[in-house]
Amino acid sequence: MKIGARAFVVIAAAGLLTLACLGSSDAAGQAGRRHPKPGYGQVAFTTLVQRAIPGQQGDQIREAIRDRNAWRDRWSNLRERDSGVLSHQQPAVDFEKSMVILAAMPTQSCVSKVTIRGIIRQPGELVVDLLEEPPAANCRCMVAQRPFHAVTVPRTAEPVRFVVTQGVTACGGRG
């Protein structure tokens, strides 16, 4: 776990601990107070695909996809100008039980990566810990690329908020 992810987990844990302490005060002070629902905290997710598509042009994407048609359309857009890196058929998702969280960086000049590192359920929202790693300043490449990461999580109607940490992708194994 990188330092940024560890800090994210510590901050989230502190917030959850604060909520737990608020919920443990005496019964006399409980009237009218809302308590957090069970199930807050880390959300398990499964990576569908994480890669960078050489030569692809595109903008930033940070979204939750909750239905089959939207996923098919977004997959089709991800495949535009793809030279065979991605399958024609998007990865299967049971949208009755799950949804997709998708993050893509705009087109980068060289090697780059985007990673969904963690997802936390907080009151009224899901918070996605996203690491974006554009190319280091010394990188020189022949082909631009567009990195993306798609994961599935249990379906929810809650809004999704992305918390982004910026990193750097080293060139050719150099830092």
Give the number of domains in the chain.
1
Q: The domain containing residue 59 runs over which residues?
A: 38-166
Contact indicator for 153, 45 with CB cutoff of 8 Å? yes
Structure tokens at 55: 């030569």
96 vs 170: CA distance, rounded Å: 40
- What letter would DSSP give residue 136? P
Give the list of residues 6+ apart from residue 50 with CB closer than 8 angstroms, or none. Answer: 114, 115, 148, 149, 150
Type of residue numbered 41: G
The answer to whether 48 touches 155, Cβ cutoff 8 Å, is: no
- Domain assignment present for residue 88? The answer is yes
14: confidence class by pLDDT, cuts 50, 70, 90: very low
Question: What SS3 class is residue 12?
Answer: helix
CA distance 109 to 135: 7
9 is a domain residue:
no
Residue 20 in any domain: the answer is no
Within-domain flag for 123: yes
Give pLDDT, residue 38: 54
Q: Report the C-alpha dihedral over residues 138, 149, 162, 106, rounded to 10 degrees.
A: 50
What was the pLDDT predicted at 15? Answer: 46
pLDDT band at 5 (very low <50, low <70, confident <90, very high): low
The model's confidence at residue 19, banded by pLDDT at 50, 70 and 90, is very low
pLDDT of residue 158: 95
In a domain, 159, yes or no: yes
Which range is least confidently modeled, 7-16, 136-145, 146-155? 7-16
In a domain, 58, yes or no: yes
pLDDT in tens, 93-145: 999 999 999 999 998 888 889 999 999 999 999 999 999 999 888 888 888 88
Start-end of H helices in 26-173: 68-79
Cβ neighbors of 79 (< 8 A, separation 6 or more) are 86, 88
> Tens digit of pLDDT for each residue in 26-85?
333 333 333 344 568 999 999 999 998 887 788 999 999 999 999 999 998 888 766 677
Q: Whole-prediction pTM value? A: 0.74
